[in-house]
Structure 1
């Protein structure tokens, strides 16, 4: 299924420079997946359609792709700000990239592989739930409710 990106915290696409992505990778000591970098470079701050994904025995909603670039007044949607909020509550190697409408974080989980992170959902209580084996698998599995 094709994923379309709609305005959420940003009204129009706002591109991300390779330098900004390298800054995140350097700060976290990881390499972000190429498919994620292609998507976030074009659609940071936007929401996918379809936007429902399966987690455990239920469904959840992909709310917004966190921003790489700083946007005044939208700091709470920044990938770096989100990481600072959750890092003391999650195991080392987990990094946020999106948020659900309920305030949960979709994250890259590098604990099993530094080359191909899995996708997990971190609840507001800090529990970690598996979602997909890769960013591309998450995108391919999005559906309408």
Structure 2
């Protein structure tokens, strides 16, 4: 993990076992590089905070928290975003504009990539099926239209942060 990153306003340290357990309860085996970071930086924002999604510059907000009392508690955040994001996508952080940075397990359950989910024009999958008569598979495809590749691993994502 990069040593030059400045993490601000982190929660109290959380155990690796707790992080793994929460991930598994939600259906995800979280990668070790993410676990190593979030156990000491959960709930924190980071400097530098800029990263690119293709040619568009984005801003890192904060890592979601593993503290049940936090308004950024990762379980609550997952439940909020789950109706909108594709299956096998796990939100781990936000940006200041309401979008989320996620781990995407779609093509590799052992080694997820980091993606950016844009909330603009995103619809609840159930609503797409009811109002636009899409099948579950078509609603999933539509949800994937708002997912954009950022990095092959969480470590690579952190390496891409810049001023």
Report the structure number with the largest CA radius of gyration: 2
Choose from 17, 21, 24 the match for 1:23: 21
Aligned-residue offset at 1:15: 0.5
Q: TM-score under structure 2 normalisation? A: 0.79
* Cα distance between partner residues in 1 of 2:105 and 2:26: 11
5+ long unaligned stretches in structure 2: 123-145
* Cα distance between partner residues in 1 of 2:8 and 2:148: 26
* Cα distance between partner residues in 2 of 1:110 and 1:140: 20
Q: TM-score under structure 1 normalisation? A: 0.88
CA contact (8 A) 1:121 1:130 kept: yes
5+ long unaligned stretches in structure 1: none
Question: Which SS does the other structure have where 1:24 is aligned?
Answer: helix
Spell out structure 1 runs of 4+ moving beyond 2 A. Answer: none
As a proportion of its length, which structure holds more strand? 1
Matched with 2:114 is: 119
The number of residues matched between the two structures is 137
* Cα distance between partner residues in 2 of 1:50 and 1:18: 25
